[in-house]
């Protein structure tokens, strides 16, 4: 196989270190949980927890609400691998800071990657505590996790990056549970400062429905590695200048809890019966 990511040797090393602790578990679904959803991992049965510190090339995390552990175990009929926490561009100044974790999930056999984040909403009807499934994204940060990747595999098709069949499946699961699941376009901002009201007006003009500081690079990496992607934003606030209160990380975490219960229900239903 030709080398795609420059960090492929690190991915191999970390995958070997992980496999040595998995006791034959073979995860098919990977989840990367952002602010407010880390405790979903508690629902994984017969779980092995591996701290990122034990996995070469995994990031060191600095954000409250991101535990920094990989949990692998049984969920319904399948094994899953849950990454509790991510590193953001603003922590590392590297768009590919999640290349090793995403690569390890792929190497362990995960064919589907589910991503969650906390985000600000540009839709007045989807306020704090709401959940938006990502249908598409906008990346005008000028950064890309494949910037130093090699070969033709770096020219990744991003049409239907958020898998239409998975989205239909999640909408059906939400409907059956009476969960209101919005769907829209997520725009990636680098952070860590929140957006200005003028930036939010610009984002709306460009077609954004939610804004946040993560997820997009992981989606690009996962698509490059051939994984199907589904992604969800827990709406913690209306975006800057939309009449809400001032933004803070503490408020982000507090509000994430409300939507987290809904999203947790949905993810549990999906993992129990992904087909
Ligand atoms: N902007 C960017 N990231 C966020 C926001 C926001 O308004 N809320 C939670 N994460």
pLDDT tens, 174-206?
999 999 999 999 999 999 999 999 999 999 999
pLDDT, tens digit, for every residue of 208-222? 999 999 999 999 999
Tell me the percentage of the chain whose pLDDT exceeds 70. Answer: 92
pLDDT, tens digit, for every residue of 94-103? 999 999 999 9
Does the pLDDT at position 56 exceed 90? Answer: yes
Least confident of 13-22, 27-36, 127-136, 184-193: 27-36
H-type alpha helices, the chain: 8-22, 89-92, 99-108, 164-176, 197-206, 216-224, 249-272
Catalytic (active site) residue 246: no
Q: Which of 117, 121, 233, 237 does the annotation list as catalytic?
A: 237
Per-domain residue ranges of the chain: 8-272
Distance CA 215, CA 32 (A): 9
The two most distant CA atoms of the chain are separated, in Å, by 52
Mutate to test the pocket of ligand 1, among 120, 132, 244, 256 (most ligand atoms within 8 A of CB): 120
Distance CA 185, CA 101 (A): 25
Q: Which of 97, 117, 121, 214 does the annotation list as catalytic?
A: 214
Residue 117 and residue 214 in contact, taking contact as beta carbons nearer than 8 Å? yes
Distance CA 221, CA 149 (A): 10
Catalytic (active site) residue 137: no
Cα of 255 from ligand 1 centre, angstroms: 11
In CATH, the number for domain 8-272 is 3.40.50.1580
Q: Which of 10, 18, 41, 66 does the annotation list as catalytic?
A: 66
Distance CA 87, CA 115 (A): 13
Find the residues whose C-beta lies inside 6 A of ligand 1.
Answer: 118-120, 189, 194-195, 211-213, 236-237, 239, 247, 252
The string of DSSP codes covering 169-184 is: HHHHHHHHTT---EEE
Does the pLDDT at position 171 exceed 60? Answer: yes
Question: How high is the pLDDT of residue 255?
Answer: 66
Partner residues linked to 112 by β-bridges: 29, 228
Does the pLDDT at position 27 exceed 80? Answer: yes
Q: What is the mean pLDDT of residues 112-124?
A: 95
The torsion angle over the Cα atoms of residues 168, 255, 257 and 162, rounded to 10 degrees, is 20
Catalytic (active site) residue 121: no
Cα of 42 from ligand 1 centre, angstroms: 26
Tokens of 164: 């239409």
Average pLDDT for the chain? 91
Does the pLDDT at position 126 exceed 80? Answer: yes
Question: How high is the pLDDT of residue 25?
Answer: 95
Phi and psi angles of residue 95, each rounded to the nearest 5 degrees, phi first? -70, -20
Q: Identify the residue whose C-alpha is closest to ligand 1 atom 10.
A: 119
Question: How high is the pLDDT of residue 1?
Answer: 46
Give the atom of ligand 1 at the shortest distance from the alpha carbon of 237: 8
Does the pLDDT at position 12 exceed 90? Answer: yes
Mutate to test the pocket of ligand 1, among 137, 198, 239, 240 (most ligand atoms within 8 A of CB): 239
């Amino acid at each position: 196989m030709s080398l795609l990511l420059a960090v492929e040797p690190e991915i191999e090393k970390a995958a070997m270190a992980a496999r040595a602790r998995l006791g034959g578990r073979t995860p098919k679904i990977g989840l990367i949980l952002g602010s407010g959803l880390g405790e979903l991992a508690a629902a994984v049965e017969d779980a092995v927890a591996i701290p990122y510190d034990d996995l070469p090339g995994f990031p060191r995390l600095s954000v409250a609400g991101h535990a920094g552990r990989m949990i692998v175990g049984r969920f319904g009929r399948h094994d899953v691998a849950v990454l509790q926490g991510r590193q953001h561009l603003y922590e590392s100044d590297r768009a590919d800071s999640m290349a090793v974790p995403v690569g390890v999930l792929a190497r362990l056999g995960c064919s589907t990657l589910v991503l969650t984040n906390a985000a600000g909403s540009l839709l007045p009807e989807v306020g704090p505590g709401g959940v938006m499934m990502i249908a598409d994204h906008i990346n005008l940060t000028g950064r890309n996790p494949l910037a130093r990747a090699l070969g033709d595999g770096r020219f990744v098709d991003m049409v239907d990056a958020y898998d239409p069949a998975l989205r239909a499946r999640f909408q059906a699961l939400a409907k059956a549970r009476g969960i209101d699941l919005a769907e829209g376009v997520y725009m990636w901002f680098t952070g860590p400062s929140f957006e200005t009201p003028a930036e939010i007006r610009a984002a709306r003009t460009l077609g954004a429905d939610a804004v946040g500081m993560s997820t997009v690079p992981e989606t690009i990496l996962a698509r490059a590695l051939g994984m199907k992607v589904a992604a969800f934003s827990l709406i913690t606030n209306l975006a800057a200048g939309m009449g809400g209160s001032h933004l803070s990380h503490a408020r982000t975490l507090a509000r994430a809890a409300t939507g987290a219960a809904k999203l947790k229900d949905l993810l549990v239903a999906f993992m129990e019966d992904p087909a």
